[in-house]
Amino acid sequence: MTMSDNFLPFALPEIGEDEIAEVVDTLRSGWVTTGPKARRFEQAFAEFLGEPQIECIAVNSATAGLHLALEALGIGPGDEVITTTHTFTATAEVVRYLGADVVLVDIDPKTLNIDPKLVEAEITPKTRCIIPVHYAGLAVDMIAILDIARKHGLRVVEDAAHALPTTLEKELIGTMGSDATVFSFYANKTMTTGEGGMLVTRNAELARRAKVMRLHGMNRDAFDRFTAKVPSWYYEIVAPGFKYNLTDIAAALGLHQLKRIPAFQARRELIAQAYNDAFADLPLIPPPQPVEGDTHSWHLYVLRLSEELEMERDVFIERLYAAGIGCSVHYIPLHLHPYWRDRYGLRPEQFPHSQKAFERMVSIPLYTAMTDADVQRVIRIVREIVLG
């Protein structure tokens, strides 16, 4: 096979005319930083979740949202936070921002999500919080996680960067009863604002603190001060905060991307099913499927090469690229990265399921801007590589 001139990227956003018009309107309005459209976006997100009273706090990344949630919960030096090794480093690094320590556990090989049994086994008197990650868009067993948290008096902050609009027992992730849930709107996610995220919580005190810390620790934000009808220049710094606000330019994208989430998910599911059907006879392990009646967001489509296929994963990736198909690996587990490995003395044999999955996994293109022809091309190339 030779490199195609028509390279198919691993992921592309789908931006429509409504999004473009809303951004242009924002630029013409003169209000380009956090303002009325960011407020509208927060309100629209609460309505999407079906809980208009829930607090939605727009931020400039999911990483920022996770950091704000943990800070508001008082996580700090001497505390431990349990999460999965099979995630992007952002999930864990926010714990270190606060001086707390990360405890990594393995995944359930059936779901590739954090294994609740292993979470409970790692709880110590120092444990304060659990961060479950809804990997690839499949819901974690939140019933088990929340039961463990209640039993041990722990906080729960969900990393839902992949999980819009994932459901568990027909309830949307973001409404499950954890202390906070954080979504991502990065460019390759199920909806995008370019960069951005949303912190969701029912905890009024957590929300109040996160709003203050989102913008330098000010007790009044710029929108409130600059739109007041009377002089309102005065504010106070009540804490050493961060610069985590979402701009109105980004929120303008989000307003229309959010409306398209049902259609986006339906298209992603259609592509995932086409892959499932096309690869069923190959020595490939398909992604874990949702329980009947529940929704997988299908942020990622992660194949694993079975042991019957005598081909190294890296060779498989090289052949995909040579045929003009972009792909990726989600993820290089945290226990293999020098910082986490060296700080906590981690070894691959401590995480056998994550390690095995990593060595055989590859994420292939799955995004709404793909045409049917693109999907069929990926299918054809994968089959050619596997069958020789």
Q: What is the CATH number of the domain that holds 295?
A: 3.90.1150.10
CATH of the domain at 173: 3.40.640.10
Tell me which of 243, 259, 275 is where a domain ends: 259
Q: Are residues 161 and 73 in the same domain?
A: yes
- Whether 141 and 238 map to the same domain: the answer is yes
Tell me which residue range forms the domain holding 98: 17-259
Pair 170, 289 in one domain: no
Question: Same domain for 108 and 237?
Answer: yes
Q: Residue 359 and residue 368: Cα distance in Å, rounded?
A: 28
CA dihedral 137, 143, 147, 153 (to 10 degrees): 40
Half-sphere exposure of 184 (CA within 13 A, CB side): 25
Q: Residues 302-326, buried b or exposed e (16+ Cβ, 10 A)?
A: bbbbeeebeeebeebbebbeebbbb
Query: Does residue 5 form part of some domain?
Result: no
Does 254 share its domain with 283? no
- Inter-residue contact 45 to 258 (CB < 8 Å): yes
Same domain, 221 and 86: yes
Position 2 scores a pLDDT of: 42
In a domain, 315, yes or no: yes
Each residue's pLDDT tens digit in the chain (388 positions)? 344 469 999 999 999 999 999 999 999 999 999 999 999 999 999 999 998 789 999 999 999 999 999 999 999 999 999 999 999 999 999 999 999 999 999 999 999 999 999 999 999 999 999 999 999 999 999 999 999 999 999 999 999 999 999 999 999 999 999 999 999 999 999 999 999 999 999 999 999 999 999 999 998 765 565 555 556 678 899 999 999 999 999 999 999 999 999 999 999 999 999 999 999 999 999 999 999 999 999 999 999 999 999 999 999 999 999 999 999 999 999 999 999 999 999 999 999 999 999 999 999 999 999 999 999 999 999 999 999 8
Residue 160 within any structural domain of the chain: yes
Predicted confidence at residue 216, as pLDDT, reads 95
Are 293 and 358 in a shared domain?
Answer: yes
Q: What is the pLDDT of residue 53?
A: 82
**φ, ψ for residue 385 (rounded to 5)?**
-65, -45
One domain, residues 320 and 230: no
With both helix axes pointing from N to C terminus, report the angle between 372-387 and 313-322 in degrees, rounded to the nearest 10. Answer: 130
Q: How confident is the model at residue 1, as a pLDDT?
A: 39
Is 6 part of a structural domain of the chain? no
Q: Judge if 245 and 381 occupy the same domain.
A: no
Structural domains counted in the chain: 2
Q: What is the pTM of this model?
A: 0.96
Q: Are residues 243 and 307 in the same domain?
A: no
Which residues are part of the catalytic machinery? 189
Closest CA to 214 of 177, 250, 256, 247: 247
